[in-house]
């Protein structure tokens, strides 16, 4: 069993673990008793999707997945900040 | 999978270890998000994913592409720096919003966010409704 094969199995395990993690955050987003739980779950889901894109890029040997991961991270931050501001004030831009 | 076989064996094992540890920590953060009982406990769990998961996977990606292309590939530092700066801001704002919403429910405003009134237009000595004080929302989940 070569080291490259072990790395391939590790990447597969990591992708399955992150998909499971996205499923758990999705459960919390659908179930979450109040709005702040849902926003927290969406934020965690964004970060998990970003890590999944990084892992897919590692598996393919493709650098361009990095840029989509960066875009997902920025969109997640903006989404969370806007939702938190809306929950606090009732409006996003004052 | 030529580019994975082309890596040196020891480096491939190290990268595999980093990837497995990072994704397991991210999974652990989501398990905490599902299992913990109140929102203020739950907001702590995903920080495992934000800090350790991102850090380890970025380190693995950086090592892999540097070894595969035989030159230092450092652009993952952009994501690392971004994830170092933004999650404290967003989680702080979310925590403050949750505190305000809980206080509104305790004071009887009941999910309706009051309109933004400037301090100069606020009525003089307006009483606050304290009749439902202590009857917080059910946060068990």
Assign A48 a pLDDT band (cuts: 50, 70, 90): very high
Among all residues of chain A, which has the CA nearest to that of B36? Answer: A28
How many domains would you assign to chain B?
1
Tokens of A56: 């897919």
Assign A28 a pLDDT band (cuts: 50, 70, 90): very high
Q: How far is CA B46 from CA A70, B36, B39, in A?
A: 19, 11, 12
Residues sharing a CB contact under 8 Å with residue B110, sequence separation 6 or more, in sequence order: B104
Q: Poorest-confidence range of A19-23, A49-53, A64-68, B122-126? A: B122-126
Host domain of residue A94: 31-94
Residue A3 lies inside a defined structural domain of this protein: no
Asked if the C-beta of B76 comes within 8 angstroms of chain A's C-beta atoms, the answer is yes
Residue A63 lies inside a defined structural domain of this protein: yes
Q: What's the confidence (pLDDT) of residue B69?
A: 85
Residue B79 lies inside a defined structural domain of this protein: yes
Average pLDDT, chain A: 90
Residue B3 lies inside a defined structural domain of this protein: no
Residue B39 lies inside a defined structural domain of this protein: yes
Among all residues of chain A, which has the CA nearest to that of B46? Answer: A44
Asked if the C-beta of B54 comes within 8 angstroms of chain A's C-beta atoms, the answer is yes
More confident residue, A89 or A30: A30
Q: What's the confidence (pLDDT) of residue A57?
A: 92
Host domain of residue B39: 8-110
Percentage of chain A beyond pLDDT 90 is 65
Per-residue pLDDT tens listing for chain B (141 residues): 577 788 888 999 999 999 999 999 999 999 999 998 888 889 999 999 999 999 999 999 999 999 988 888 888 899 999 999 999 999 999 999 998 888 877 776 655 555 555 656 656 665 444 433 444 455 655
Query: What's this model's pTM, rounded to 2 decimal places?
Result: 0.82
Residue B134 lies inside a defined structural domain of this protein: no
How many domains would you assign to chain A?
1
Tell me which residues of chain A, numbers 37 to 56, contact chain B at a CB-CB cutoff of 8 Å.
Answer: 37, 39-41, 43-44, 47-48, 50-51, 54-55
Instruction: Give the pLDDT mean for A60-74.
Output: 90
Asked if the C-beta of B75 comes within 8 angstroms of chain A's C-beta atoms, the answer is yes
Question: In 3D, which of B69, B71, B19 has the Cα closest to residue A54?
Answer: B19
Residue A80 has pLDDT above 80, yes or no: yes
Q: With an 8 Å Cβ cutoff, are B12 and A3 in contact?
A: yes
Residue B81 lies inside a defined structural domain of this protein: yes
DSSP of B24-92: HHHHHHHHHHHH-SSHHHHTTTTHHIIIIIHHHHHHHHHHHHHHHHTS---THHHHHHHHHHHHHHHHH
* ipTM computed for the complex: 0.90
């Amino acid at each position: 069993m070569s080291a490259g094969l072990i790395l391939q199995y590790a990447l597969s395990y990591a992708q399955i673990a992150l998909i499971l993690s996205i499923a758990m955050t999705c459960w919390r987003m659908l179930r979450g008793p109040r709005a702040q739980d849902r926003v927290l779950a969406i934020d965690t889901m964004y970060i998990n999707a970003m890590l999944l894109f990084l892992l897919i890029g590692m598996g393919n040997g493709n650098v361009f997945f990095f840029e989509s991961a960066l875009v997902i991270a920025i969109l997640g931050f903006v989404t969370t900040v806007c939702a938190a501001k809306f929950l606090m004030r009732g409006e996003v831009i004052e | 999978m030529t580019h994975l076989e082309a890596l040196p064996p020891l480096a491939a094992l190290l990268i595999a270890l980093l990837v497995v540890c990072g994704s397991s920590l991210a999974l652990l953060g989501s398990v905490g998000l599902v299992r913990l009982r109140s929102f203020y406990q739950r907001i702590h769990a995903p920080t495992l994913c934000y800090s350790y998961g991102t850090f380890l996977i970025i380190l693995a990606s950086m090592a892999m592409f540097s070894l595969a292309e035989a030159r230092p590939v450092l652009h993952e530092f952009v994501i690392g720096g971004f994830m170092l700066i933004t999650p404290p801001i967003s989680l702080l704002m979310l925590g403050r919003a949750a505190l305000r919403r809980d206080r509104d429910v305790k004071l009887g405003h009941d999910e309706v966010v009051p309109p933004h009134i400037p301090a100069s237009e606020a009525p003089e000595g307006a009483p606050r409704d304290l009749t439902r004080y202590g009857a917080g929302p059910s946060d068990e989940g």
